């Protein structure tokens, strides 16, 4: 099964590009589902799907074309289905602590529940082979970043804390009952967590396997959007997910000669150059600004043609990771693959949280994680095709 994430800042074109990719993938005979957590449910809107069809589907895949489905998760229903007992325990707990019952129920929705529900679906499709392709129309960057950290965090919780907690509660319950009003979680709570974890097993391996899963970052040629794209690039890399393309959406066409737009055209060109320095060797796929909103099957299909041309949208457009961070004996190291370099050519500058590496006329810029950005000393060594940069205080 092939999985592609479409991530990026709010409004950059994630839903449109995911939908366009879906059409191209389905055209080639792949059973394709486009999934979204968007509460505004814009997928069905841009496909112009009849509301009746979506209402009927109730969070299940709704067919919108040959080999093509869209699935908009209904978060309330997901919570009841997957989180019933956990949610019940948490709301009782909050309610006991004096909160109004309705408020307690609302607050007992843990951050990440929605995202985990999405992971559950992905994992099920990977196991039951219902689809060949799953495309994810992600929430705006901030939230989708939280989402990718969940499998790792959950694994840690289950392995490190869960078993201890379960044992403590088992022995503590008779004693605790006499002293505290707060209810301790019952068997149903622990069973529910275990069931959930079983359903999620393997999803982290799936998401970090570049043969199966890649991320396409959607961006626009504008300063603030690009900065956020850089940040997303770093986080996805930290979680060892593979970014295989940057979709540079909303480029003004060169044919546009109206003087009014000349400044825009100039600054867009400048930002495209910058983006190349940030993301190389991951390819940039430019897409023109359309004459109007992109609505309906035919417009989306045209968008798909503009993004991919004759290419297969399911190909991996880039193999490998341009850089990786590692912590070795408590020290941070950045590993960058730069073939054909000579150490004499390398110059580095750190400006705030950004590291700029110049090699001859070539510039590569990397946004640093917070802990790493705080370190001042840099040392570069060359090892085969890799430039290793050690950070120290």
Binding site for ligand ATP (CB under 6 A): 8, 10-16, 38, 42, 140, 249-250, 287, 289-290, 293-294
Min CB(67)–ligand ATP separation in Å: 22
Q: How far is the CB of 252 from ligand ATP (least distance, A)?
A: 10
Size of the site for Mg ion (CB under 5 A): 2
Q: How far is CA 378 from CA 278, 326, 331, 333, 372, in A?
A: 19, 15, 11, 10, 10
Place of tokens 């590291």: 355
Q: Pick the closer one to ligand ATP by CB: 21 or 57.
A: 21
Dihedral of the alpha carbons of 369, 374, 380, 386, in degrees to the nearest 10 = -10
| Residue 360 CB, nearest approach to ligand ATP (Å) | 35
Q: Which residues sit opposite 5 in a β-bridge?
A: 136, 215
- Binding partner of residue 114 among Mg ion, ligand ATP, none, CB under 5 to 8 Å per kind? none
What does the DSSP assignment read for 250-272?
EEPPTT---GGGHHHHHHHHHHH
CB 35 within 8 A of CB 71: yes
The one of Mg ion, ligand ATP, none whose footprint includes residue 249, by CB under 5 to 8 A per kind, is ligand ATP
Residue 117: enclosing H or E segment and its boundaries? helix 113-128
CA-nearest of 242, 241, 162, 237 to 198 is: 162
CB under 5 to 8 A by kind: which of Mg ion, ligand ATP, none does 13 bind? ligand ATP
The window from 9-17, 170-178, 217-225, 310-318 that contacts Mg ion (CB under 5 A) reads: 9-17
Q: Locate tokens 């480029």: which residue?
A: 251
| Residue 179 C-beta: closest distance to ligand ATP, Å | 49
Residue with smaller CB distance to Mg ion, 6 or 125:
6
Are residues 283 and 34 in contact, defined by beta-carbon separation less than 8 angstroms?
no
Strand order in the sheet with 377-383: 323-328, 331-337, 386-392, 377-383
Give which of 94, 95, 150 is closest to 122, Cα–Cα.
150
Closest to ligand ATP by CB, 144 or 237: 144
How many CA within 13 A on the CB side of residue 49?
Answer: 25
Select the span of 8-16, 22-30, 65-73, 345-353 touching Mg ion (CB under 5 A).
8-16
Taking the complex as a whole, the smallest distance from the CB of residue 28 to ligand ATP amounts, in Å, to 22
The minimum distance between CB 59 and Mg ion, in angstroms, equals 17
Q: Which is nearer to ligand ATP, 15 or 57 (CB)?
A: 15
Say how many C-beta atoms besides its own lie within 10 A of residue 276's C-beta.
18
341, interface contact from ligand ATP, Mg ion, none, CB < 5-8 Å by kind: none
- Nearest distance in Å: CB 48, ligand ATP: 12
Nearest CB to Mg ion, comparing residues 15 and 220: 15
Member of 15, 21, 92, 117 binding Mg ion (CB under 5 A): 15
The residue among 14 and 364 lying less far from ligand ATP, judged by its C-beta, is 14
Residue 243's beta-bridge partner residues? 215
Cβ–Cβ under 8 Å, residues 368 and 357: no
Residue ranges that bind Mg ion, judged by CB under 5 A: 14-15
């Amino acid at each position: 099964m092939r999985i592609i994430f479409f991530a990026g800042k709010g409004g950059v074109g994630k839903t449109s590009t995911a939908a366009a990719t879906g059409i191209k993938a389905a055209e080639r005979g792949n059973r394709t589902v486009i999934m979204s957590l968007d509460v505004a449910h814009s997928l069905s809107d841009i496909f112009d799907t009849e509301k009746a069809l979506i209402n009927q589907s109730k969070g299940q895949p709704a067919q919108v074309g040959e080999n093509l489905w869209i699935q908009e998760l209904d978060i309330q229903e997901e919570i009841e289905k997957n989180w019933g007992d956990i949610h019940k325990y948490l709301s009782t707990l909050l309610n006991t602590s004096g909160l109004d019952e309705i408020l307690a129920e609302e607050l007992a929705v843990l951050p990440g529940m929605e995202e985990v529900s999405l992971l559950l679906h992905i994992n099920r499709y990977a196991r039951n082979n219902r689809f060949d392709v799953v495309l994810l129309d992600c929430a705006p960057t901030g939230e989708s970043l939280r989402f990718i950290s969940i499998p790792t965090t959950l694994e840690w919780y289950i392995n490190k804390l869960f078993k201890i907690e379960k044992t403590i509660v088992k022995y503590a319950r008779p004693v605790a009952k006499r002293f505290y009003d707060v209810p301790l979680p019952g068997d149903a709570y622990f069973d529910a967590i275990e069931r959930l974890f079983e359903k999620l097993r393997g999803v982290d391996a799936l998401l970090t396997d570049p043969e199966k899963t890649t991320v396409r970052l959607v961006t626009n040629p504008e300063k603030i959007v690009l900065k956020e794209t850089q940040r997303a690039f770093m986080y996805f890399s930290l979680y060892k997910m593979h970014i295989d393309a940057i979709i540079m959406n909303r480029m003004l066409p060169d044919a546009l000669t109206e003087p009014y737009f000349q400044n825009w055209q100039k600054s867009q060109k400048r930002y495209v150059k910058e983006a190349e320095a940030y993301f190389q060797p991951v390819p940039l796929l430019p897409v023109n600004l359309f004459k109007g909103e992109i609505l309906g099957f035919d417009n989306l299909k045209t968008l798909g043609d503009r993004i991919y041309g004759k290419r297969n949208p399911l190909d991996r457009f880039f193999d490998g990771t341009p850089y990786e961070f590692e912590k070795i004996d408590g020290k941070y190291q950045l590993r960058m693959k730069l073939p054909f370099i000579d150490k004499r050519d390398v110059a580095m500058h750190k400006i705030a949280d950004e590291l700029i590496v110049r090699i001859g006329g070539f510039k590569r810029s990397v946004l640093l994680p917070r802990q790493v950005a705080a370190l001042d000393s840099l040392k570069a060594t060359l090892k085969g095709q890799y430039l290793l940069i050690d950070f120290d205080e």
